[in-house]
Structure 1
Amino acid sequence: MGIRAFLSKPLAAYVVSKQRKWARTPKQTQEAVFMNLIENGKKTVFGKDHDFDNIRNYEDFKKRVPVRDYEQLKDYIQQVVDGKENILWPGKPMYLAKTSGTTSGVKYIPLSRESVPYHINAARNAILNYVHETGNSAFLDKKLIFLSGSPALQTKNGIFVGRLSGISNHHVPGYLRTNQMPSYETNCIEDWEEKLDKIIDETLSQPMSLISGIPPWVQMYFDRIEARTGKKIKDVFPEFSVFIYGGVNFEPYRKKLFESIGKQIDSIELYPASEGFIAYQDSQKEKGMLLLLDGGMFYEFIPTEEYFNENPTRLSIGEVELDKNYALVINNNAGLWGYSIGDTVKFVSKNPYRIVVTGRIKHFISAFGEHVIAEEVEKAMQYAMQYHPEAEIVEFTVAPQVTPEEGLPHHEWLIEFAKMPANLPAFARRLDERMRKLNIYYDDLITGNILRPLEITALQTDAFREYMKTQGKLGGQNKVPRLANDRKIADALAQWQK
């Protein structure tokens, strides 16, 4: 056993023990975070504008601070980007994480000196939870790869600017630096396909034990290795034993990815965001991810059916219910206040508080009042795949077809299959059957002959990759939206129809 593997076990025991203490007192933990945030916020322009001096509790806060998304908070954020101090958080941020917004163009999310350690330690702690539960630590002595954005940073008014994954790369603990891959030079390559080829050049001969990244981009890495070597990943990397992922629901990718690997291995799910590291999978035995209640963020939850109301209900951690969809709102130690990050979550446990990510609050189809969400289409796909084990999915997205050339309107599922179902119409029937059970409004529309059953458009190989390339979003942390209420993506993908 190497030194990293050996030392990780007592560290893992310490981290898990500390974690259990705050997990046992969730309300008190969040209350302490809240009061600390308010105390720091009093020193800022935002705090003065919103009367933080007279905030004594969460009820006071809700009266003074509305829920806002990036566009609504942009005036404050722009002042931060311009280099002004004490706007949202004391001083200037340490970094600006650059992300792609659907309506905002480029977004800049501040990361403070206080918030950065939580990003780094959470990723470490996810791995240590795994080590503690399974006893498997040998992988830490081999090579580890993190498929991420470029660590090359720019500066804007004295603040470092870059992708979150690239910023995080600068804070990888020293004891992992020597076995981290790819090289810094390769990681800085901006073109994803060129970068991927270089990563393969560097990693093919190495004892890779841990691979981390967003599933569709990891799958591309595996596909290219298989094309180059003619071997399954387990034969190329026999010591590969842990897969870490985040950013998307893993289920649509699971079958094909593990088939590429050639064996089952353990996986760890993460929920990092530029706004903060929100949750991670703390157990291989339990469903969901542990919500990080001591991570410098005070969470609020809005029932999704109320999100677009003028005065939606806002709940703290002690008020949430199991198996109910909530829009996630955060207040963090980098100065985001009442900030809607756009994700929806569902609690699957309250002892401790564990969540699953169910979709995006603005990614839905409701062209006819059906309000179909990502969780429903992903569950329907999982259901259809169970009945068609021969089929393999690369990627898919769903859009409404409001004005078809003939017949009733319908939902169009644009799917890139790695392996086609033996009977595509039967596959479509299974999808529709499950959607009708999952969404009563959709069922009513079908029954009432407002909509006809969904239709599948099979896409050519690499259709989604080519689409993402045209959008300048190939690789890194970029994801294809699972569904949309318009046809922008669907119409762009039409050129790759089979």
Structure 2
Amino acid sequence: MLSFIKRKIAKFWAKKHLKRSEYYKHNAPKDQEALLLSMVRMAEKTLFGRVHRFEDVRSIEDFRKQVPVIDYEELRPYIERMKKGQANILWPGHPEYFAKTSGTTSGAKYIPISKEGILYQIKAAQSAIFHYITKKNNADFVSGKMIFLQGSPKLEEIYGVKTGRLSGIVAHHIPSYLQKNRLPSYETNCIEDWETKVDKIVEETETQDMTLISGIPPWLIMYFEKLIERTGKKITSLFPNLQLIITGGVNYEPYREKMEELLGRKVDIVQTFPASEGFFAFQDDYQKEGLLLQTNHGIFYEFIPLEEYGKKNARRLTIEEIELNKDYAMVLTTNSGLWAYAIGDVVRFISKNPYRVLVSGRTKHYTSAFGEHVIAYEAEESIKAAVEAYPCSITEFHLAPKVSPQNGQLPYHEWFIEFEKEPENLTAFARKLDTEMRAKNTYYDDLISGNILQPLVVTRLKKNAFQEYAKSQGKLGGQNKIPRLANDRTIAEYLENYKI
């Protein structure tokens, strides 16, 4: 009876939420400008606001004149003041949290999150679930056990500001009505070593009625494989009432086949696009590609055409000015005090009504040793097509340039692939992959046609090669992701130790 009541209540609130959300989906441009100006007014008296003369900002154009696009290094002096306990630096008062992330070039980053900012992180996550409940007419999962593969909820303090991984911070904001259903235990969640933690999670969950599982795809796969190894059962045989998987952090598509194999049957998937800087988008239509951009959740968005990114006088476009099917570097202004902040993510819009995006890559993760500028979306879509043409299962891949091969060969792109199940014809698979890449990137096609590059080369890797690399970098587990594209061979040189 209690389960029935919980499902009814969940459906009622979900339906109510969707009715309210229809307004912002169709009024995004107007809402975005109002949001920016309200945040500017809020922060006029902060140090950043005084330096950038917020009192003169009365329009989006004024804002662009006063506030240049910045990255973390340019923001760091302000953050360091906040870490020393100073108030009113980027946003009124002190931040509620610092989300600590591991930067590749800047070392550890401390992203401020205000009271308003964490509230919108939680609201966006709830909205993703409410959309699912209403559109699928399914709230059965609220009665079972739920697991969130996440970082440790243990937080340190820096001058009174709680500090930790975003997923650990969010763990403190799980609604009380879900806490009884939530796994793993607090003690297990606090284990820092990822492999030890996953082993303990397997132990705690293998006999439970799991109905919802959340995490980024590589670590979900690791968890599922350990469960199967321990029990000898596919995941949906072990958890027959499993209804929903919520995932984010990386593009799900390259993992889909592997996930379905481990699951044993299809399970509903909701893809999301969260980060320490904000919860940007989630899947709201399960028949179409794309994630619904959250335009009323404390974030003002600007978009720089990717080919202009990093150049002087690069255009900064609002959502009203973007074009469909073009790649843009995303720039954020948030109610946690990030101002025209280049987050490093690349998106492309596939719909304007409502605004839906695909995450197509990272501004720093690309391959362009020869001027081709291959981005993640092109690589991921190409490998997806090759897998469909020559059935196989891929755990992970990494693309790096080989600039100076031995024996006077032409340079090439080397694809390091860890196969779970190899294609029957690897040569044909590689040829299909190369054909798809040439179709998606005209610069790459020109280089092949002009005999500047030879067709790509696939290098097979032993099992767990990518896990071992992540472990070697201290980035095993949580929200850590291995770059799929590189412009050098730093990662490639490590992976060469695992060549078959």
State the 1:56 CA deviation. Answer: 0.3
**Aligned counterpart in structure 2 of residue 462 of structure 1, from 439, 461, 464:** 464
Task: Work out whether residues 272 and 281 of structure 2, in 8 Å CA contact, stay in contact via their aligned partners in 1.
Answer: yes
2:192 pairs with one of 190, 193, 202: 190
Counterpart CA distance in 1 for 2:273 and 2:83 is 26
**Does residue 305 in structure 1 map to residue 307 in structure 2?**
yes
Task: State how 1:47-446 maps to structure 2 within 5 Å.
Answer: 47-389=49-391, 391-406=392-407, 407-446=409-448
CA–CA distance in 2 between the matches of 1:447 and 1:316? Answer: 38
Amino acid at match of 1:76: Y
Aligned to 1:267, the other structure's residue is in SS state strand
SS at match of 2:303: strand
CA deviation after TM superposition for structure 1 residue 60, in Å: 0.4
The list of structure 1 runs, each at least 4 consecutive aligned residues, that deviate by more than 4 angstroms after superposition, is: none
Q: Which structure 2 residue ranges, 5 or more long, are not aligned? A: none
Spell out, residue by residue over 1:418-457, the C-alpha distance to the aligned partner (whole angstroms, 9 max, x if none): 0111111111111111111111111111111111111111
* 1:25 equivalent in structure 2: 27
In the alignment, the residues of structure 1 paired with residue 328 and residue 437 of structure 2 have an alpha-carbon distance, to the nearest angstrom, of 21
- Note the residue ranges of structure 1 that are not aligned, 5 or more in a row: none
Find the aligned partners of 1:44 and 1:339 in 2 and give their Cα distance.
17
Residue 17 of structure 1: how far off its partner (Å): 1.0
1:285 Cα offset (Å) = 2.5
TM-superposition CA deviations, 1:370-412 (whole Å, max 9, x none): 11111111011011001111x1100001001111123111111
Give the CA RMSD over aligned residues: 0.8
Identity within the alignment, % = 53
TM-score (norm. length: structure 2): 0.98
Counterpart of 1:6 in structure 2 is 8
- Structure 1 residue 287: Cα displacement: 2.2
Shift of 1:32: 1.8
Shift of 1:283: 2.0
Contact 2:140 2:243 in 1 (8 A): no
Which residue identity is paired with 1:398? L
- Shift of residue 113 of structure 1? 0.8
TM-score of the two chains, using structure 1 as the length reference: 0.99
1:296-350, Cα deviation, whole Å (9 max, x unpaired): 0100001101002111000111111111111100000010001000000111111
Deviation track 1:55-94 (CA, whole Å, cap 9, x = no partner) reads: 0000001011111111121111211122211110011100
Aligned residues: 497
1:3·1:141 contact (CA, 8 Å) conserved in 2? no
CA contact (8 A) 1:4 1:175 kept: no
Does residue 453 (structure 1) correspond to residue 460 (structure 2)? The answer is no
Is the deviation greater in 399-408 or in 109-118? 399-408
The answer as to whether partners of 1:29 and 1:293 remain within 8 angstroms in 2 is yes
Show CA shifts across 1:216-262 (max 9, x none). Answer: 10001110111111111111000011011001011111001111100
Distance 2:136 2:159 in 1: 46
C-alpha contact 2:331 2:342 (8 A) present in aligned 1: yes
Instruction: Specify the code of the residue in structure 2 equivalent to 1:218.
Output: L
